[in-house]
Amino acid sequence: MAGSLEKLVQFLDSEKSVIYIVLKRVQGSSPRDVGTEMFVSKRAFHGTIGGGQLEYLVIERAQAMLRDGTLNTEMDIPLGPEIGQCCGGRVEISLARMRDSDIKCAINRAYKQNNSMPHVYVMGSGHVGRALAAQLQHLPVRCILVDTRPEEIALCDANVEKRISAIPEIDVMSAPAGSAFIILTHDHSLDFLLTSSALERNDASYVGMIGSVSKRAKFTNWTQNNTNPVSLDHLKCPIGMSTSNDKRPSIIASFVVAEVVNELTHGVKKSISEEENTVLQQYSQHDRKAILV
């Protein structure tokens, strides 16, 4: 998701006056969680707190602040018939005019978030591999497209990391813990090597190999004869299981991406994370300083 980071940096560099918006408290159902950020200028905005009438009202208030010089304010909005939404919850939102130091903090925070995103390794840059990269570039993951063939890598125009690797097993073995591996190379024997390497790590969030039920059976036999004992319980093969018979690369990729993201976000708590707490603490400090100005 490097493109989102670049857009934020460009936005904050190009806009002279910006209102920083953060969800401070959520009660009941809400389109976004506590800590969600958004940035609004007189002519544009970056990010989203959930869209709809909620976001419209907040943008309107932020731009009014820029016109009348208000430094900071808060909004308490019920997500019900009053504003034409039916979430049923309630949100408290803080809005504050950003100083240079706030902009630097926001950019540093964005870089930190970008660097901590889960890694998704797409092993193979054929038609489906490139379709996966095209979709993953828009998600909060760090996508790494790996292939032994420079001419295939060159065909990918997605904004993802691209690696020409003579020994892609090294890329699998050196990946950080919790990475996801989608294996779909041009060579079945290479698929088997990379899949067994990913499974042997025993710390991957997702290991999927393109193929059929018969390919999985062949891989099972191959592992018994060629590798150390390894559990296949968490192997996804076929990948992107669905009832669709559509074999177009973009369709296959959409089902696989949904499967991978489901695994990466499974069990994610909706409570305030340590980083979200940091954001809110920084905002509280901003509140105090603004009052003293």
Q: Which is it for strands 235-236 and 19-27: parallel, antiparallel or unpaired?
A: unpaired
Report whether 122 contacts 141 (CB < 8 A): no
Task: Provide the residue ranges of all domains of the chain, joining segments of one domain with +.
Answer: 17-114, 119-265
Q: What predicted TM-score, i.e. pTM, was given to this entire model?
A: 0.79
What's CA 76's distance to the chain center, in Å? 28
Q: Residue 159's closest CA among 192, 181, 135?
A: 135
Q: Six-digit token pair at 34?
A: 């506590």
Beta bridge partners, 180, equal 120, 206
- Which pLDDT score is estimated for 98? 97
Q: Six-digit token pair at 121?
A: 């390794």
As a whole number of angstroms, the distance between CA 94 and CA 280 comes to: 9
Q: Six-digit token pair at 15?
A: 């806009």
Q: Report, as ranges of residue numbers, the positions in the chain whose pLDDT lies below 50.
A: 269-273, 275-276, 283, 287-293
As a whole number of angstroms, the distance between CA 51 and CA 222 comes to: 50
**Cβ contacts of residue 273 below 8 Å, gap of 6+?**
35
Report whether 73 contacts 54 (CB < 8 A): no
As a whole number of angstroms, the distance between CA 253 and CA 273 comes to: 31
Instruction: Kindly report the CATH number that applies to the domain delimited by 119-265.
Output: 3.40.50.720
- Which pLDDT score is estimated for 243? 80
- N residues, the chain: 293
> Can you tell me whether residue 282 is helix, strand or coil?
helix
Report whether 19 contacts 95 (CB < 8 A): yes
Alpha-carbon dihedral of residues 200, 206, 210, 215, nearest 10 degrees?
50
As a whole number of angstroms, the distance between CA 77 and CA 91 comes to: 5
Terminal alpha carbon distance of the chain: 37
As a whole number of angstroms, the distance between CA 257 and CA 264 comes to: 10
Q: Residue 92's closest CA among 71, 73, 75, 72?
A: 75
Report whether 61 contacts 18 (CB < 8 A): no
